[in-house]
Structure formats: structure tokens, C-alpha cells
Chain A
Amino acid sequence: MKIVLDHLTKKFPNRNKKSDQDVVAVNSFTFEFPDGKLIGLLGPSGCGKSTTLNLISGLAAPTEGKIYFGDEDVTNLAPEHRGVGLVFQNYALYPHLTVLQNITFPLENLKGKEKLSRKERERRAYEIAHLVQIDGLMDRKPSELSGGQQQRVAIARALVKMPRVLLLDEPLSNLDARLRLQTREEIKRIQKETGITTVFVTHDQDEAMSISDMIVVMKDGVVQQIGAPQEVYDEPANLFVAKFLGTPPINVFEGTVRGGKLSIGGEEIMAVDGACDGDVYVGVRPEGFIPDEHGTLSCALSGVEIMGRDVSIVSAHPSSQNATVRAIVSAETRLDISAQSVCFSLKPSKTFLFDRRSEQSIPFTKDATGLFRRAVEKKLSE
């Protein structure tokens, strides 16, 4: 079941009574969530992602715009008739009911033709429980379960009535780091097995990147970028998206483009063919630095952190927006730790330009072979 949002807008009256201006939680959200995919709504807190989820579930009514499930307009449909399963951030498991009773609860509401016998209800509950691997815990109360188990029960309860759409609100935020890794894979697996269109909300970019088929990055109620995780990571539409995705975060420098050449702090760094002249922000992913004694970007070396798999070079640069410039290089890289400075050349594919004023991405030709050619030429001329 695809979900279509058409100029979906939600405004809340301003808490501050002196201001007449409404708070726009979601601003003209238009997108078609493809059928059978896992979609992550990603953004910092207060960006409108949870409100979007509530609008889809029907717990909140939109101020403007329409919502379609498939071709059916559900904008004015009551939540119970939408066929959505919602997993709440704190799971909202009924504490006085056992796991089995919790899972069969939605089924007991079915009336008339859809009414199920007790046996059939339990059979379905066990089927779903088996899917989420909690069939051994059916007689326990929620308080006797671990966080991860509670999470699975909540998912089972949302799935048992075979919803058209599954919604998860910050599904992993209450779990510890280790369980989080495990559970997010579990969610992915369950989603794949059921094939239900699933939308989940998170502020953790790692989580969204790792399991989503598609991510929607939001800020202040406005959708910033939509796309496959890798695509959004590799081609951020603006500075916000670039900063929000990726750990460690992207390094941002102030720079200028003159005649297709990018310079940072007066030093010419690299050619950026196709970019217009002007002041820019330069975003460089940590993995975009190549330690290179002939490199054009010279930074004051402050330390090296060895993390086993790779090495993190911590340095500083006067034009950097971040306090430190962090580069991640492979552990085999030889580096003179006692040196005062370190020079890098930049991978064009990991380097992004953003307009200083609009913070929108500026495209330029990312010709890797060009970089190599120029590097060879430079060496030959010396």
C-alpha cells in the first residue's frame, strides 16, 4: 500500500498568546511513499517528523492537504478505519495484560462479520509472535520483559490486525546501544517478511541510514531531501542535510570559488569545474581526506586517535567551522605524529560546495581521474 501525502500541512496555535503566528509543524509535505518499503523520517527534535506520523495514523488532523493510502483518500477517515498499526515510542503496552492478551487486544475489537473466535485470535497472535520471536513469552506481563522484548510485543500488537501501513515512532530510542543494533536489523527483517509499507521516525541518522530503503530528512517542518540513504549521503541537497548525516560529522570550511578553483583560507585547494564564483561553505566528509605531503589543505595536527579498523586524524584549520577537523584514514596510513602540521588532498566525491547564503548545494564536476591527472602533472612539473 503506497502512502501519498499531498501538500500536507499541520499548524498549531502559538503557545505565546502575544503572537498570532501559528506554529507550522509540517509545511506542505508532498511525497509518495512507495509500496512495501521501509521509509525513515529523519530530523532533529521538533522538525515535525512525529507530527507527520500522527497525521498518517489519523491521531492528528491536518490543517491542509490530503493523505491517500493507495488511491483511497483517508484524510478524513477516523484512525480506527485507516488500518494502521502504530508502535509508540514508549510502546504503550497495557501493563495489566499478558503478552498474549496485549497482542489479541486489537482482534477482540473486530465486530460482525470480521469477528474471530478465541481460538482463531490466539492462533493469529501466536503466528505474529513467532514472526517477532516472542512466542516463549506469551504469559508474561510487560513489566517482566526487557526493553527489546517489549518492543517486539508492541510490533506484534501493531501487526496482528494486518494493517495496511505500519508506523513506528522512535522505535529504538528506549533501547541500549547494543540492543539497538540488533533490533534495527530485526525491524528490517520483519518489514521484509511482511512486506508492509513501514514508516519510522528517528532522530538518529545511523538508524535511518542503516535500515531504510528511503529516508526523508526534515527540518522545521520542511522536507529537506528525500532519497535512498546512500544517495542522500553522497549528494546532500543542502548544508543542513550534509551536517545531519554521517558520523563523525562532516567538516565544514569557509571557502571561495574563483574561476573554477576552490580556495580555503587563501590557499588554492582544488579545481571545481562548473561551480560559479562566490563565497561557499566547503563540506568534506571525514573519509574524504587523503594524507598527502603534497596536499593542498594544510592543517595544524593536534592528535591521532587509533580505532583499530581505521585512524582518526584530529587537526585544526583557521577556516574550519568545526572546532576540529577530523579525518578518517585507513589504519595502514603512515603518519608522522610528531609533525606540527598535516597536509591533505581532498576526494572530490566526498567534497561538497554550498552557497554561503542559501546553503544550497552547488554542483561541480567530480572528475576523479581529473584529480589524479592534475596530481601527476603537478608532480612531473616539480
Chain B
Amino acid sequence: MEKKNLKGWLYLLPAILFLGVFMVYPLIDVFIYSFEEGYNSASGTSFGIGLYNYEYVLHDPYFLQALKNTLILVFITVPLSTLLALGISVGLASIKKLRNLFQTVYFLPYVTNTLAVGIVFMILFKPTAYTDGLVNIFLGMFGISPIDFIGGPYWAKMLVLCIYTVWVVMPFKILVLTGALASVREDYYNAARLDGTSSFRIFRKITLPMISPTLFYLVITGFIGAFKAYNDAVALFGTELNVAEMNTIVGYIYDRLYGEGGGYPSYASAAAIILFAIVLTITCINLLVSRKHVHY
């Protein structure tokens, strides 16, 4: 028995070593940094220990802006993309002809590079010397004056960021949901059909509960993913995110480390711990809700 145990640990050793060095140690380190005031990574010294870093970050307008942006992004894009993906995958499941074609089309954004997609969005939204962008040309047909989606008002920029995020995260959700829908046994539908169940009721009472585990998986991972948003904003608005008022928490952390206002690992660590606390809370709430509503 003892020997068997030893063997098990031996097999786990490489993974444990790597995780320890590259995950656990940095995590603990970040936690410590966040309490060390004025930590200097070059000299490895600090002035003292306290909550000053948190106080600073929580009063930093850039952080508050980033927090606001991130929260808007999370609470708009996660439900929206999940609902849209659900609608599309239910649609895909109910058609026979051209299903594969549509599946491919909907999955394309997933295999496309984020920055390449950014360029597509530029063409759609960014005004240049020659054009106001495709969307503005379209809006112009209804007599709406051109809006600067990239450098203009806050709501316009937020709208573009949300559309972009939804567009980027949806393919994966469609893929997973299509799989979940396909795994619901035909017999359930046949049984319900024999009983004269309307298709809306079949969807609400049978399909939805059956795929609820997948749905909640997508919501939870969606929330976590959206809280970590950064590269989407960069793809659209460039690296000067604070100027564009489009920064996210991860963007703020990066800036505090290496960006314009960089060189402050303590502030970055404190922001990272705050982000971690938010994500943890939201995930716990999600899990509590799902325990009530997810079957099996």
C-alpha cells in the first residue's frame, strides 16, 4: 500500500513541480505583494505591510473606469451571447439541409485570429478619411448621422466592444450547445410528441432542463472569461486604453506592471486580488443558483 502511494506521487511529481513553480508560487507571491507597500522589484524591498495598495487602487479613477467597463461587459455579453448561441443552436438542430454549412459559418470566428477579427471590425466601424465605416453607411440610409464608434462617445465604444465580444465568444458556445442538444435522446421528444406537447413546451420543459448542465457550464466559464477580457479591447482601441476610457481590469493590471503608468507591482497585485475576489464571488453565486435549477 505504502509503495503504491509512493508510485502515485512519483507520477504526479512533474505536474506538481510545474504547477508549484509557475502557478502556486506566483499566486502566493501576488498575494504577498498586494500587501507590501511600495514594493520595488529591482531591489526587492518594500516600506511596510498594510492595506494601502488596495486603498490606492480602489480610489484610482483608472481602476474604477476599468471595473465599470468590465462589469458592463460581463453582464451584457455573457447572457446575450449565451441566449443567442442557444437560439442559433436550436435553429441549427431543427434544420436538415445546409446544417453543416451553417455550422461551419458560425464556427469560423472561433478559428480566426482575434486581431484579424479586429481589422474586420475596424472596416465595419472605424471612420477614415475616405469613409465613415460600413455601419455608418448603412445607418446613413435611414438618415442617421455618422457616429464615431472607435473614437467617439462612451456608449458607442462600449456598444462596439460588446458586439465584438459576443461575436468572438459565441462560436464556442454554439459548438458546445449543438453537442448538448444532439445528446438529448430522440425518445424524449417522441414521447412528448405522442402526448401532444407543443414545441414551445417541449423546449421549455424537456430540452432546456436536459441541457441545463451545459448551459450553466457556459455561463460560469463565460463569466470568468469576460472578467479576464483585455485583448478584445486592444484589438479595437489599441493599447492606449485608459485614454480611450475602454480599459478593463486585466488591462489595468498590465498597465500597472509594464504600461505607461507601470512599475508598480504592488498596485497590480492588489488589483489582481480584487479581480480574483470578484470572480470567486460571482462563480460561487452561479454555483448556488445552478444547484437549484440544474437537474441531475
Contact = CB atoms under 8 A, between A and B. Distances in A.
The answer to whether A and B assemble together is yes
Interface of A: 57-59, 79-81, 84-86, 88, 90, 92, 94-96, 105-106, 108-110, 143, 157, 161
A105 to B, nearest CB: 7
Interface string B171-195: 0000000000000010110111111
A88 B191 contact: yes
Interface of B: 185, 187-188, 190-198, 201, 205-206, 209-210, 212, 295-296
A94 B206 contact: yes
Contact of B191 (A92, A96, A143): A92
Contacts of A80: 193-197
Given A90-B187, A94-B188, A161 B193 contact: no
Given A109-B195, A109-B196, A92 B190 contact: yes
Contacts of B209: 94, 96
Contact of A81 (B190, B196, B212): B196
Contacts of A59: 190, 193-194
B210 A96 contact: yes
A109 B198 contact: yes
Nearest to B206: A94
A84 B212 CA distance: 30
A109 B196 CA distance: 6
A86 B195 CA distance: 9
Nearest to B210: A96
A102 to B, nearest CB: 10
A92 B210 CA distance: 12
Contacts, number: 56
Contacts of A106: 195-196
A161 B194 CA distance: 11
B295 A96 contact: yes
Q: Say whether chain B's binding surface is mostly helix, strand, loop, or mixed.
A: helix
A79 B190 CA distance: 9
Given A86-B191, A110-B196, 6 more contacts: A59-B193, A92-B190, A92-B191, A95-B210, A95-B295, A106-B196
Nearest to B185: A92
A57 B195 CA distance: 11
Nearest to B186: A92
A88 B190 contact: yes
Given A92-B187, A94-B188, A96-B295, A79 B201 contact: no
A296 B195 CA distance: 61
A157 B188 CA distance: 13
B209 to A, nearest CB: 4
A96 B190 contact: no
A59 B193 CA distance: 9
A289 B201 CA distance: 62
B296 A95 contact: yes
10 contacts: A79-B193, A80-B194, A80-B196, A80-B197, A86-B194, A92-B188, A92-B191, A94-B206, A96-B210, A157-B191
B296 to A, nearest CB: 6
Contacts of B196: 80-81, 106, 109-110
A84 B194 CA distance: 7
Contact of A57 (B188, B192, B194, B205): B194
Contacts of A88: 187, 190-191
B157 to A, nearest CB: 42
A80 B192 CA distance: 9
Contacts of B210: 95-96
Nearest to A154: B191
Instruction: Give the residue among A58, A59, A79, A96 with the most B Cβ atoms within 10 A.
Output: A96
A242 to B, nearest CB: 35
Given A92-B185, A94-B206, A96-B209, A109 B201 contact: yes
Contacts of A84: 194
A290 B237 CA distance: 97
A96 B296 contact: yes
What 8 pairs across the A-B complex have the smallest Cβ distances?
A: A80-B196, A96-B295, A92-B187, A106-B195, A96-B209, A92-B191, A109-B196, A88-B187
Contacts of A57: 194
Nearest to B296: A95
A143 B212 CA distance: 17
B295 A109 contact: no
Contacts of A109: 195-198, 201
Nearest to A161: B195
A96 B195 CA distance: 18
A96 B197 CA distance: 17
Contacts of B206: 94
In the complex, which of the residues B196, B201, B212 has the most CB atoms of chain A within 10 Å of its own CB atom? B196
Contacts of A110: 196
A108 B187 CA distance: 19
A80 B195 CA distance: 6
A85 B190 CA distance: 11
Contacts of A58: 194
A88 B192 CA distance: 12
A92 B193 CA distance: 12
B195 A105 contact: yes
A85 B191 CA distance: 9
Nearest to B189: A92
A89 B195 CA distance: 17
Nearest to A143: B296
B194, B206, B212, most chain A CB atoms within 10 A: B194
Contacts of B201: 108-109
A371 to B, nearest CB: 53
B220 to A, nearest CB: 19
